[in-house]
Amino acid sequence: MEQRKKTQIADLDRGVYDIKNEFEYSYIANAGLTEDIVREIWANKKEPEWMLEFRLKSLDIYNRMGIPNWIPDISGLNMDNIHTYVKPKVDMKEDWNEVPEDIKETFDRLGIPEAEKTSLAGVGAQYDSEVVYHSIQEDLVKQGVIYTDIETALHEHEDIVKQYWMTLIPPTDHKWAALHGAVWSGGSFVYVPAGVHVEIPLQSYFRLNAPGAGQFEHTMIIVEEGAKVHFIEGCSAPKYDVSNLHAGAVELFVKDHATLRYSTIENWSKNMYNLNTKRAIVGKGGTIEWVSGSFGSRVSCLYPMSILNGEGAHAEFTGVTFAGEGQFLDTGCKVVHNAPYTTSNVNSKSISKSGGAAVYRGLLKIGPNAEHAKATVSCESLMLDDISQSDTIPAIIVENDNVDLGHEAKIGRISDEAIFYLMTRGISEEEARAMLVRGFVEPISKELPLEYAVEMNNLISLELEGSIG
C-alpha cells in the first residue's frame, strides 16, 4: 500500500444547528446536584409523591456509583457546573402559532413544522428541559393512540407510566441512568393500542439552547400486541464554550407481534457530553428496528440495547458514526437473545478523520434458552487519515449450542483495487472515490427518513480534491 495524498473532508457546516437564541427561562435550577435541587424539580413539575421517592432513591444511587473504567475520558464534565433543569419561558402548546417567536424560529430553521405538514403523523418539540409543542393527527387519537409529552402522560395516564417507569433502564444500571432517574425532565410518551398500525411516522425533536445545561428527557413507547409505529428522534444544540450534558433515557416496550422502528440522528455540538441510554424489550414475534446516526458531541457513549424475550422476536440495528476533530464517539449496540428462534442483524459503519476517534462497542449474547437463535454482526470502519483512531470492541457470549452466529469486522481505508476497477470502467478517479465513500454509508442512509438522509449527506460533504486516503 503506497502513501497517498489525503482527502480534505469538509467539517459539517453546522449552520442552523449552531444558531443560539438569547438565553431566557422562567426557572433555572442552581448548578450542581443536591437533594434540594431534586426536590425543587419535583415540586416545580407538580409530580405525584412516588416520583419524588424515585428521584431521591436515584440520587442516592448516583452518589454511591462510580464512573465505569471503560468509557472515554469525561474529565471535562463537571456536574457542579451543570444546571440540571432549565424551564423555558413557555408552557406546552398544541398550536404552533402560540409558541414564542424565537423558539418557533429555531424549530422552523430545523424544518420541524414543515416536516409535520408533509410527512408526519405527530410532532413533539422539546426546548431545554420542557416540551413546548405537541400535536397528533385526529384520526390516530380516535384509534386510541396517545402521543404526548411525558409530564402530561404522568398526570393523565399515571397508571401506565408508573407500571413501566424505568423498569427497562433501572437507576442501578449505571451512573448516568441514576442521574437521569434523579433529574429527568421532558420527553415523549407514545402508546399504540393493540392492532393499530400508525402508517406515517411520529417525530420528537430535542433542542438544548441553554449553555452549561443538562438535558435529561425520558422517552417511553409502548406498542401493544400486533401494533406498528415508526418513531423519529432528532437532537441538536448550539456550541458554547462550556460543557453541556445529555443523559436521556429511551424505554421501548414492543409487545407480541408488534413492530417499532426507532430512527434517530444525534447531532449535538462539540461541547456536549452525550451519555444516553436506549433499550427495547421485544415480545413473541415482535420486531425492533434501530436506525441510528451519531455525529456531534465531544464524547458519546451510546449503545442501544435490544432484549429479545419472546419466541421469534427480531432486532435490526443499522448505525453510522462519524467522528471528527476533538470527538470521541464510543457507540455500538447490544443484543440479548433470551428466547428460541430469535434473530438479529447488526450493521454498523464508522468514519473517523482529523484526529477523531470512533469506537464500535458491541454485545451479542445468546442465552441458554435461545435455541435456534440466529445472529449476524457486521462492522466496518473507514479511516480517512493517519491521525485518527478507529477501534472495534465486540463481545460475543454464547450459552447454548443450537445457534447460528456470525460476526465480522473490517478496518482500513478505501482500497486501491476498487478505485482501479471503477477507473477501468471509464469513471474518473475522483468520481470513483466519491462513489466508494457514498457507497460505504449508503446502506445506512437508505434506511433513514428522507430529510435525515439529506442531512447526513450534507454532513459527510466531501471535497474531492486529492485522494481519499
Place of cell 432513591: 57
In the complex with another protein, the residue whose CB is nearer, 75 or 97, is 75
C-alpha closest to that of 287 among 259, 316, 251: 259
Question: Is 385 among the residues that bind another protein (CB under 8 A)?
Answer: yes
Stretch that binds another protein, among 118-126, 145-153, 264-272, 380-388 (CB under 8 A): 380-388
Looking at beta carbons only, is 368 or 466 nearer to another protein?
368
Q: Which of 396, 427, 434, 462 binds another protein (CB under 8 A)?
A: 396
Distances (CA, A) of 97 to 105, 113, 328: 11, 11, 40
Q: Which stretch binds another protein (CB under 8 A): 147-155, 263-271, 283-291, 396-404?
A: 396-404
| Closest CB to another protein among residues 19, 387 | 387
Taking CB under 8 A as the binding criterion, the range among 209-217, 317-325, 339-347, 394-402 that sits at the site for another protein is 394-402
381 binds another protein (CB under 8 A): yes
Q: What is the nearest approach in angstroms of another protein to the Cβ of residue 401?
A: 4
Could you tell me how many residues of this chain bind another protein (CB under 8 A)? 44
**What string marks each residue from 200 to 239 as x (binds another protein by CB under 8 A) or -?**
----------------------------------------
| 62-81: contacts with another protein (CB under 8 A) | 68-70
Q: Provide, rounded to whole angstroms, the least separation between the CB of residue 221 and another protein.
A: 24
CB of 413 to another protein, least distance (A): 5
Round to the nearest angstrom and report the end-to-end CA distance of the chain: 11
Q: Which of 390, 369, 448 is nearest to 119 (CA)?
A: 448
* 395 in contact with another protein (CB under 8 A): yes
Cα–Cα distance measured from residue 147 to residue 243, given in angstroms and rounded to the nearest whole number? 32
Does residue number 139 form part of the binding site for another protein (CB under 8 A)? no
278 grid coordinates: 436506549
Interior/surface letters 297-318, b for 16+ CB within 10 angstroms, e for the rest? bbbbbbbbbbbbbbbbbbbbbb
Going by their DSSP bridges, the two strands 287-294 and 314-323 should be labelled as parallel
CA 369 and chain centroid, separation: 30
* Of residues 274-333, those binding another protein (CB under 8 A): none
Residue 158, SS3 per DSSP: helix
CB of 284 to another protein, least distance (A): 21
**What is the footprint of another protein within residues 401-420 (CB under 8 A)?**
401-413
Our CB check for another protein shows the closer of 145 and 166 to be 166
Taking the complex as a whole, the smallest distance from the CB of residue 214 to another protein amounts, in Å, to 24
Query: Helix (H, G, I), strand (E, B), or coil: what is residue 241?
Result: coil
Grid coordinates of 152: 402530561
Does 384 bind another protein (CB under 8 A)? Our answer is: yes
Integer angstrom CA distances of residue 183 from 194, 217, 231, 368, 411? 32, 9, 24, 37, 40
Q: Which of 18, 24, 391, 430 binds another protein (CB under 8 A)?
A: 391
Q: How far is the CB of 382 from another protein (least distance, A)?
A: 9
Question: Exposed/middle/buried for 405, CB within 10 Å: 0-12, 13-18, 19+?
Answer: middle
Q: How far is the CB of 388 from another protein (least distance, A)?
A: 7
Based on the shown chain and the rule CB under 8 A, indicate whether residue 389 belongs to the binding site for another protein.
yes
Window of 186-194, 386-394, 423-431, 453-461 that interacts with another protein by CB under 8 A? 386-394
* Subset of residues 159 to 198 that bind another protein, contact rule: CB under 8 A: none
Amino acid of residue 206: F
- 270 sits near another protein (criterion: CB under 8 A): no
339 is an interface residue for another protein by CB under 8 A: no
Residue that is written with C-alpha cell 465513500 in the block: 437
Residue whose grid cell is 444500571: 173
- Burial state string for 233-270 with b = 16 or more CB within 10 A and e = fewer than 16: bbbbbbbbeebbbbbbbbbbbbbbbbbbbbbbbbbbbb
Q: Minimal CA–CA distance to 284: which of 256, 325, 324?
A: 256
Q: Which residues are near another protein by CB under 8 A?
A: 1, 3, 68-70, 334, 361, 363, 365, 368, 371, 381, 383-413, 469
